[in-house]
Amino acid sequence: MSLAEFALIDRIRARSKGRDDVVLGIGDDAALLQPLAGHWLAVTADTLNSGVHFPPETLPADIGWKTLAVNLSDLAAMGATPSWGTLALSLPEASAAWIDAFADGFFALADAHDWRLIGGDTTRGPLSLSVTAFGQVPHGQALRRDGAQVGDDIWVSGTLGDAAGALQLWQRGEMDVTCGAGDADREYLRQRLLRPTPRVDLGMALRGVATAAVDVSDGLLADLGHIARRSGVSAMLAEENVPVSRELRSVRGSADALLHAVEGGDDYELCFTSNPSMRAHIQSLSNRTGLRLSRIGYIRKGEGVHCGGKDLQGGYQHFT
Amino acid sequence: MSLAEFALIDRIRARSKGRDDVVLGIGDDAALLQPLAGHWLAVTADTLNSGVHFPPETLPADIGWKTLAVNLSDLAAMGATPSWGTLALSLPEASAAWIDAFADGFFALADAHDWRLIGGDTTRGPLSLSVTAFGQVPHGQALRRDGAQVGDDIWVSGTLGDAAGALQLWQRGEMDVTCGAGDADREYLRQRLLRPTPRVDLGMALRGVATAAVDVSDGLLADLGHIARRSGVSAMLAEENVPVSRELRSVRGSADALLHAVEGGDDYELCFTSNPSMRAHIQSLSNRTGLRLSRIGYIRKGEGVHCGGKDLQGGYQHFT
């Protein structure tokens, strides 16, 4: 570790707040944490590489936000309460200004969820960010992928396809990710790509309600496919009920908007299954939180994801 | 995530064994773990980049071993029992042969310590490996850096400088890290560089014995400096008692060997402090385990690391 790396770590450490269950934070060989009794630890790890998972020119504050958001989204999909985590940061050059801007985005989201950075590593290399995030969930209440039951409804939060729509605009040179789009609809899509909202509160509220859950990171068809495969069931999708934002439809047209919504990734909404007896409860949850929850299909015997009679399971290719 | 990445993850998942406290392993949005009651979680994260932390031509099995070894060494320095962890792997190309060889080294060490891989991520990019490792330690028994007391002895395990000696031979073009060195002394040094032994059993045995501990990764002066600074004390080093292997002395001569031993990193031995009343206990520990433990100095009031009257605290620069 070079002296410059020590200095960078100090800048990050200065932004990390305390928490009662952090016995010892950054600065020793390891951090010491006090897990909750009666809970499981939920642990996820996701890496973002420049040029692969975000446009290379993305502003450091937006990278910071998204780096943590994709990991909190995985915890949300388990129904876990975010707790702590580590960050491995590879940077081409030791820049205090870059680190400070990155930390602005990263800790804005961390602090909002009382999530604490308790360790990590800074190395020189191509820009890459790996987070390992820990959450906690009461025994037996985690939302797994393998619990979907025949007859369950399929639900999804928010709207889908916005991030993929923005990404396509960027790929065509029609969107600058580093400054506001002017046009309000495009700006909405840009924010959905750069600053996804992990559905942490929804995930916790779905304990005891959802039978299975996944976050929509690879695309609805792909991620619903994970639930179907792991649960040993088939998912019937009602394409016409898949929620698409007015903004996406306005910018991309209805047909492309729907394609983005079923195939595009990076929205970080939650897709979950639940017994039809839960419909009123889920509707009230939506009313209470102001977050749209759409019933988009149902689970039946069989395998794969089907839509309007077509088997889509083998047909999709992931974006990215 | 591309289909090729799914295939790579499957190859790694196939090597991951179960453990009673792993409620749910790789394959969902997050893993679920059952922590031990009455214990703290110890969490550490270390990244190795090709060309920075190991020679680019290093064989994948050796990279796999070292990737985990440096993290288990941090857990050892906390007195923690290794439990689980995640791996973020960035690879230039999706090669099943590379992954299999990497896994040979990685899981040889993981299985030896009953440590389980429970999550991670594979991305395309320059070769880089980030592990976040969790261990567990009974409440109040962790070995921290800030507990050294005036009057304590300073101890170190094994011998120091071997890895730095090997690295210098490699830098001069006098050692091929990919095949046996022929000469037994050089081969010993090569193995010390490529396959360091994390002192996990020693760390656990030092609970209630050591007042402070650190692993020697940045070099004895640097790491002992961490203990001195965090504990608010001064470390007096008896240079002549720093343990140097016969092999290092034979290959590099006595003067250079000692320089490597006090300044060189990457040995992953434990340096610890303890009350003089523990000397007989520590000696019996050494006898029982067959691991050399050397008393190399003592703690007094003040600050910095001193040696033969010289203040070495401000003078060192890290290797790497």
What is the domain-level CATH number for residue B103? 3.30.1330.10
Strand order in B81-91's β-sheet? A22-24, A31-33, B39-49, B128-138, B81-91, B116-124
Predicted local confidence at residue A316, as pLDDT: 39
Size (chain B), residues:
320
B119 and B213 belong to one structural domain: no
Domain count for chain A? 2
Predicted local distance difference test score (pLDDT) of residue A206: 98
User: A-chain residues within 8 Å CB-CB of B317?
Assistant: 3
Q: Is residue A233 part of a domain?
A: yes
* Pairwise pLDDT comparison (B254 vs A318), residue with the higher score: B254
Q: What is the pLDDT of residue A232?
A: 98
Domain ranges, residue B200: 153-311
A26-51 mean pLDDT: 94
Q: Is the domain of A160 the same as that of A280?
A: yes
User: Chain A residues with CB inside 8 Å of B21's CB?
Assistant: none
Least confident of A18-32, A303-317, B2-16: A303-317
* Token pair belonging to B271: 């340096």
Q: How many CB atoms lie within 10 A of CB A233?
A: 23
- Of A33, A37, A125, nearest to B43 by CB-CB distance is A33
Which range, of A92-96, A279-283, B286-290, averages the lowest pLDDT? A92-96
Q: Does A217 appear as a known binding residue?
A: yes
Q: Which residue of B has its CA nearest to A46?
A: B121
Q: Is residue A278 part of a domain?
A: yes
Top residue of B28, B46, B91, B137 to mutate, by most chain A CBs within 10 Å, is B28
For residues B52 and B93, membership in a common domain is answered with: yes
Task: Tell me the chain B residues in contact with residue A2 when contact means C-beta distances shorter than 8 Å.
Answer: 318, 320
Tell me which chain B residues have a C-beta less than 8 angstroms from the C-beta of A4.
none
Q: Do A78 and B3 make contact, defined as CB atoms within 8 angstroms?
A: no
Tell me: do A97 and A159 sit in the same domain: no
Q: In what order do the strands lie in the sheet with A212-215?
A: A212-215, A270-274, A153-157, A293-300, A234-237, A304-307, A310-311
Q: Within a domain: residue B145?
A: no
Q: Taking all residues of chain B, what is their mean pLDDT, rounded to a whole number?
A: 92
A221 falls within a domain: yes
Is the pLDDT at B2 greater than 60, yes or no? no
Average pLDDT along chain A: 92
* Shortest Cα–Cα distance, A148 to chain B (Å): 13
pLDDT in tens, A234-277: 999 999 999 999 999 999 999 999 999 999 999 999 999 999 99
A121 is in an annotated binding site: yes
| Among the partner residues B43, B126, B144, nearest to A86 by beta-carbon distance | B43
pLDDT of residue A1: 45
Which of A138, A171, A197 is where one domain is finished?
Answer: A138
Residue B319 lies in a domain: no
What is the model's pLDDT at position B58? 96
Give percent above pLDDT 70 in chain B: 94
Write out the H or E segment, with its range, that includes residue A154.
strand A153-157
B143 in a structural domain: no
Tell me the chain B residues in contact with residue A24 when contact means C-beta distances shorter than 8 Å. 142, 144
Which amino acid does the sequence have at B317? Q
Q: Is the pLDDT of residue B29 over 90?
A: yes
Amino acid letter, residue B175:
M
The residue of chain A with its CA nearest to that of B270 is A29
Are A31 and B44 a contacting pair at CB < 8 A? yes
In SS3 terms, chain B reads as CCHHHHHHHHHHHCCCCCCCCEEECECECCEEECCCCCEEEEEEEEEEEECCCECCCCCHHHHHHHHHHHHHHHHHHCCCEEEEEEEEEEECCCCHHHHHHHHHHHHHHHHHCCCEEEEEEEEECCCEEEEEEEEEEECCCCCCCCCCCCCCEEEEECCCCHHHHHHHHHHCCCCCCCCCCCCHHHHHHHHHHHCCCCCHHHHHHCCCCCCEEEECCCCHHHHHHHHHHHHCCEEEECHHHCCCCHHHHHHHCHHHHHHHHHHCCCCCCEEEEECHHHHHHHHHHHHHHCCCEEEEEEEECCCEEEECCEECCCCCCCCC
Return the percentage of chain B with pLDDT > 90, whole number. 82
- A185 phi and psi angles, rounded to 5 deg: -65, -45
Q: B199-217: per-residue pLDDT in tens?
A: 999 999 999 999 999 999 9
Interface touch B46/A121, C-beta < 8 Å: yes
Q: Do B30 and A77 touch (CB under 8 A)?
A: yes
CB contact under 8 A, B45 and A88: yes
pLDDT tens sequence across A158-186? 999 999 999 999 999 999 999 887 899 99
Residues B114 and B202 in one domain: no
Residue A318 has its nearest CB partner, among B1, B135, B146, at B1
Last residue of a domain, one of A138, A169, A201: A138
Q: Going by C-beta distance under 8 Å and a sequence separation of 6 or more, which residues neighbour residue A207?
A: A79, A137, A138, A141, A143
Mutate to test the interface with B, among A5, A23, A132 (most CBs of B within 10 A): A132
- Average pLDDT on B10-32 reads 89
Do B146 and A28 make contact, defined as CB atoms within 8 angstroms? yes
| CATH at residue A256 | 3.90.650.10
Residue A143: inside a domain: no
Tens of pLDDT, residue by residue over A61-108, are 999 999 999 999 999 999 999 999 999 998 888 788 999 999 999 999
Predicted confidence at residue A314, as pLDDT, reads 40
Residue B226's closest chain A neighbor by CA? A28
Closest residue in chain B to residue A45, using alpha carbons only: B120
Are B103 and B12 in contact by the 8 Å Cβ rule? The answer is: yes
